[in-house]
Structure 1
């Protein structure tokens, strides 16, 4: 084995080696390193988006909603809320009323999706953490208080302390639209929930919304969050089928799941595409070794005439080719790890340097480039690159072992 290492290294570093062979060898090393680097970096970005989606967006929006099929709302909803709190996978439960209408300030109007909350139940949720304790206390005591998304307030030129009108559509008994009801609300806080969500959402009192929309039982539905947000589709159906009232079931993947699905799709495409890039770079190892074998036929013949076994010749050229894959993998993985762990700072530096912004907070739920390094993906990437590199050496190495010393030296 020691002899095989010495011979492989000498064959690789031979100064008389053909320049074209050296170029192909270097290009294979570069290709493998580049593939590993980009694959680790992009997978880390996808992991970062998934983490931010879970920590930011899914911490604000409900994971599941159970909405009454009747206009009167959910009968005896406090008992249903208390029963759902006992479920081991549920971390938060609250009643709600949805009130979609038009927000008006002067001659400006904007569509708004108001979620009406019961302060007693919402106190354990995320909303209180988005405002000051004084603002939350004001929301609890003032039935006409409202909290609006910061993007919505900017579009209507609103500030905290303003009074605003909201027009809520009304349905008559024959289900036709009648004159909307107008409510005057006091803006006590602005909410920055990231991305498009801040451009159309607001919160108000459940009792006021229920009264305005003739929801006699007080709550239109119940919404909750789970320990594992990604288990929402399965858990929502399991819980919904066991509820006493008749409800429509919905989970976050129906409204906002397209973002998560896009992340998973991009992750799969990136993995396949860059694995193929690494595979193509490994094919260059085949070309390099085939040319090296043809160039060193006399040396191989001399080794075999001195008693070298076929297994030694095969091992020598496998090691020589594997050096390319090993060096490329080590360099690519190292650079990938360094870049992935410092991506946010690097991206911010480039943004400041070029005067551009990669992600706009008005469009996306974050305004920076996230990154989350997954060590299992690093190990898998390195393993794939090394395995492909070793497999690429088999054909040239076996071809070298089949060289006939008598035929080569006879010429």
Structure 2
């Protein structure tokens, strides 16, 4: 069996390197190799970019945002929230749990107004990693010491034109039992620092105050409107939050990060699926050129095939020889494509920065997105899947021409 494969390999290499091969056949053969290489390179590169975005989403955005929230339906808030918090901490799936009070309001300064999502937090329950990512440590210490302090998103501070040390007015709408107009509740805060991680959705609407202050403004008598959660695997948050919410002692609204910022993750998954589909089709088109190359090679080598069969060559030997001839293109294209894709993905962030400097453009703006660079992360699984797709399609492409070569009848060919 090993001898047959060795002979098939020698025949495939001789057919491939034969000087009698026409220039057009050689061109089609080279184009198939280049097409496979290009498809593998681009697939690995784009999948690495998607992996990079997913990593940054988890390490940056989800390190700051809570993975899930339980907000009390009752206006008085979560009853005995400290006891329930301690019980929830015992769940091994929960990385952290903290009290929170949230409300929508308007901030005003010097005649300018901006809508904000005010979040009341207790500094004693806040994660250190969240602090280091969101704000300067000195400003955080000032926030801890000043109960009337507020941390504003950088985008809000820019829109209102306020700086650290100035005062801002918080306007909270109030419900009225009658038809008469009830003016909004007004509270003044001292701006003690800027918070945020970049990105329009967060920095333009983020405002952090002390939990006790937010609860007083909203009228939450228990001290906390709800609880926010973090999980070791944030992508399981929808399932875990539903389970925790259904088992909670009182009626609560269940929310998780996929409801507010899930479109980013859904976009990544959608683009990943599109990349697999489109570039698999690109590799398939390149492999179609293998079919054309081998069909023309079979027609050019009809006499040599007939002579081999008269010398006792079996059909399996002919099939293996032409399959291996086509697989050479697939192997060479896959090797060059995967190597180039890995090299480009490894240096993608550096190359993107160099392109921005040379062309004077900005690929990702930190004011809009939560990152200002092009991320990349190589996964071995993506490399293996790409390689299997390219080699699998290359193998399938060789079947028809190889079988056609084995069906050549020596008597008809040599008779002419």
Do both share a fold (TM > 0.5)? yes
- Could you tell me how far 1:12 is from its partner in structure 2? 1.0
Q: Distance in 1 between the 2:41 and 2:129 partners?
A: 41
Q: Provide the residue aligned with 2:125 in structure 1.
A: 121
- Could you tell me how far 1:192 is from its partner in structure 2? 2.9
Give the SS at the match of 2:250: coil
Gaps of 5+ in 1: none
1:193 and 2:173 equivalent?
A: no
- Could you tell me how far 1:366 is from its partner in structure 2? 1.1
Q: 1:125 to 1:86 in 2, by over 3 A?
A: farther
- Could you tell me how far 1:95 is from its partner in structure 2? 0.9
The answer to whether the 8 Å contact 1:170/1:213 transfers is no
1:82 and 2:93 equivalent?
A: no
Q: Distance in 2 between the 1:128 and 1:379 partners?
A: 37
Q: Provide the residue aligned with 2:210 in structure 1.
A: 205
The answer to whether the 8 Å contact 2:131/2:137 transfers is no
Q: Distance in 2 between the 1:48 and 1:292 partners?
A: 44
Q: Distance in 1 between the 2:184 and 2:19 partners?
A: 87
Q: Provide the residue aligned with 1:94 in structure 2.
A: 98
The answer to whether the 8 Å contact 1:39/1:274 transfers is yes
The answer to whether the 8 Å contact 2:154/2:195 transfers is yes
Q: Provide the residue aligned with 2:7 in structure 1.
A: 3
Pick one of 361, 365, 371 that aligns with 1:360. Answer: 365
Give the SS at the match of 1:54: helix
1:305 and 2:310 equivalent?
A: yes
Deviations 1:258-282 (A, max 9, x none): 1111111111111011111111111
Q: 1:293 to 1:277 in 2, by over 3 A?
A: same
Q: Give the count of matched residue pairs.
A: 411
- Could you tell me how far 1:130 is from its partner in structure 2? 3.2
Q: Distance in 2 between the 1:133 and 1:28 partners?
A: 57
- Could you tell me how far 1:105 is from its partner in structure 2? 1.4
Q: Provide the residue aligned with 2:414 in structure 1.
A: 409
The answer to whether the 8 Å contact 1:63/1:226 transfers is yes
Deviations 1:135-193 (A, max 9, x none): 22221221111111111111222222222111111223459862112211111111231
How big is the alpha-carbon RMSD for the aligned residues of Structure 1 and Structure 2? Answer: 1.6
1:316 and 2:321 equivalent?
A: yes
Question: What does 1:42-81 correspond to in 2, within 5 Å?
Answer: 42-81=46-85
Deviations 1:19-64 (A, max 9, x none): 1111111111111111111111111111111111111111111111
Q: 1:20 to 1:177 in 2, by over 3 A?
A: farther
Gaps of 5+ in 2: none
- Could you tell me how far 1:133 is from its partner in structure 2? 3.6
Deviations 1:107-143 (A, max 9, x none): 2111111111112222556135533443222212211
Give the SS at the match of 1:171: coil
Q: Provide the residue aligned with 2:249 in structure 1.
A: 244
Q: Distance in 2 between the 1:40 and 1:208 partners?
A: 51
Q: Distance in 2 between the 1:365 and 1:93 partners?
A: 24
Q: 1:235 to 1:4 in 2, by over 3 A?
A: same
TM superposition score normalised by structure 1: 0.96
Q: Distance in 1 between the 2:374 and 2:8 partners?
A: 47
The answer to whether the 8 Å contact 1:325/1:389 transfers is yes
The answer to whether the 8 Å contact 1:313/1:400 transfers is yes
